[in-house]
Structure 1
């Protein structure tokens, strides 16, 4: 009998890929969405849709009813204050856990930043969301913590690629910090593997096949190569990055949504976003995208979608 998986956040950057992968793996997929979604990635998938959001207890109950596994991938990455993050990433997660009490296995898509909850409102809310769900579900909860996710449709790293495509000199935030990365399709596949496996109640970090991560110089050079460019590099002093973040905090108060806030600056300047040995899970197949192939595919998508110039 085909197993049923319920998914929140299905229309998000990772969730869209996750629904496609789950369908390819033979799952019957049910998703929570504010309206009936139409997505080109789902050409071969026909997910059942429960209309609602994380504030709707009835919709969450309907979503979880009869599900063998529930994957909670919904969340917010931007917000004006801690309360805004907590409404979705903590309170929403708690409501999902209450609805999923009858499911044998629930998977929470958290973030590697939850490892450092004092860095930002976002990282604190992701850690608190893990704890809120663990309180309800106990060992029936698996947590995946993706590192920095990139790929087609990603708006967060788009400015990095735009800069790599246009600037003769690119900034390097640190010469020693390490940042683990993963392409969105590989993150979806690895999340699906965790969902299909027996629940072990553990926390697993998701990265590509270089869990030790990349230096900022390697990342910027790879972005430039994907754009067909060979710029020079200059070290960007941390004080300047933090100052820009603080300045952007004031623009956020006026309704803007800047990428680089003071909280994001603290996350970017953190020296260790590598994945430690104890955070890794054995049994994953090799990723389909190493950094070079992933960045090249991402830039090609940006150009086709007219997000970047040809």
Structure 2
């Protein structure tokens, strides 16, 4: 397999990363993943390389000899804007600079977030947009790069999704008031397939130099009630929905931020996340998607939900399917 093409991946040991590594390996790639601890890559069909996004030398070693570079690593929770920027912006720039120095011919897939479309909403969203800009500036307009902005990613292995499970399993479920926000979804395997398709060389008209959103076939998204009702049915629950005013949701975010400062422990929910939740349009459109000749989603929400519920059941967190 020494003649197999090499893909260098950051964030390869995370939820989405494991799906991406599996997809690349299935297509015959040799995969090298950046890890803080080598034991973190156990079970992955990949070669671990010690380092992190702050280590420029390790990043050069990671991408050296690679035909494709996939950037997945990033923070989803932090103690403040500076910590988000240090990883999501500066780490992305450092990786791009390593590509320019050590793998200038590599195809680069920069996996960002749909949140980057609305950078004013939260420090996280702002840091993802800043990371896109920093990486693209380093790679240059003539580089072979593409930015992907997945919508809400779910599927087996998503530990953060267990928070939604806890919510859907409640007797009373809080939801935003009308007009109900719309949220596009996408299964992790579909995102991984999009990444693998972009890494592949060949006759496909790969849209280098573009930014594309990645969702399932229902690009306009889903309402909160629809999502949570589907989860609750899979958990054999019949929750009641309680409409929460925007002001109450924002106040809860402020309180969560205060608690995080008091305890020194950052959480997923805060004022920024509350503002993201309350944003009314997290849908997408055909003009923002990858060309169908390159990639198209295959997994609908019902199928993906069954897949996720089966994984929860394997952990004893949901009733067995049947």
Both proteins in one fold, TM over 0.5: yes
Give the structure 2 partner of residue 234 of structure 1. Answer: 242
Would the alpha carbon gap of residues 157 and 292 (structure 1) be closer, same or farther in structure 2, given more than 3 Å must change? same
Give the structure 1 partner of residue 264 of structure 2. Answer: 255
1:108 to 107, 110, 113: 110
1:181 to 181, 185, 195: 185
Give the structure 1 partner of residue 79 of structure 2. Answer: 80
Matches within 5 A, 1:136-155: 136-139=138-141, 140=143, 141-155=145-159
1:28 to 24, 30, 49: 30
1:212 and 2:234 matched: no
| CA offsets 1:55-104 (integer angstroms, 9 cap, x no match) | 11111111111111111111000011111001110111111001111133
The secondary structure found in structure 2 opposite 1:266 is helix
Deviation at 1:307, TM superposition (A): 4.7
CA–CA separation in structure 2 for the residues paired with 1:129 and 1:39: 25
CA–CA separation in structure 2 for the residues paired with 1:105 and 1:40: 26
Q: Which runs of 5+ in 2 are unaligned?
A: none
CA–CA separation in structure 2 for the residues paired with 1:191 and 1:246: 36
Would the alpha carbon gap of residues 199 and 67 (structure 1) be closer, same or farther in structure 2, given more than 3 Å must change? farther
CA–CA separation in structure 2 for the residues paired with 1:307 and 1:36: 29
Deviation at 1:309, TM superposition (A): 7.4
The secondary structure found in structure 1 opposite 2:48 is strand
The secondary structure found in structure 2 opposite 1:108 is strand
Give the structure 1 partner of residue 132 of structure 2. Answer: 130
1:221 to 211, 221, 229: 229
| CA offsets 1:253-274 (integer angstroms, 9 cap, x no match) | 0223333211000000001100
Deviation at 1:228, TM superposition (A): 2.0
Moved more, 139-148 or 168-177: 168-177
| CA offsets 1:208-255 (integer angstroms, 9 cap, x no match) | 111111111111111112212232323222111111111001111022
User: Aligned Cα RMSD in Å?
Assistant: 1.9
Give the structure 2 partner of residue 305 of structure 1. Answer: 315
Moved more, 120-129 or 183-192: 183-192
CA–CA separation in structure 2 for the residues paired with 1:259 and 1:38: 22
Q: Is the 1:178–1:271 Cα contact (8 Å) retained in structure 2?
A: yes
Give the structure 1 partner of residue 171 of structure 2. Answer: 168
Deviation at 1:26, TM superposition (A): 1.1
Give the structure 2 partner of residue 120 of structure 1. Answer: 122
Q: Is the 1:8–1:31 Cα contact (8 Å) retained in structure 2?
A: yes
Q: Is the 2:13–2:40 Cα contact (8 Å) retained in structure 1?
A: no
Taking structure 2 as the reference length, the TM-score comes to 0.89
| CA offsets 1:15-59 (integer angstroms, 9 cap, x no match) | 1111011000111111111122455763xx2x1221111111111
Q: Is the 2:68–2:108 Cα contact (8 Å) retained in structure 1?
A: yes
Moved more, 194-203 or 65-74: 194-203
The secondary structure found in structure 2 opposite 1:83 is helix
Q: Is the 2:181–2:277 Cα contact (8 Å) retained in structure 1?
A: no
The secondary structure found in structure 2 opposite 1:100 is helix
Moved more, 250-259 or 67-76: 250-259
Q: Is the 1:222–1:291 Cα contact (8 Å) retained in structure 2?
A: no
Deviation at 1:199, TM superposition (A): 5.3
CA–CA separation in structure 2 for the residues paired with 1:144 and 1:91: 18
Q: Is the 2:155–2:305 Cα contact (8 Å) retained in structure 1?
A: yes
Q: Is the 2:35–2:41 Cα contact (8 Å) retained in structure 1?
A: no
Moved more, 291-300 or 83-92: 291-300
CA–CA separation in structure 2 for the residues paired with 1:258 and 1:105: 34
Q: Which runs of 5+ in 1 are unaligned?
A: none
Q: Is the 2:33–2:62 Cα contact (8 Å) retained in structure 1?
A: yes
Runs of 4+ residues over 6 Å off in structure 1 = none
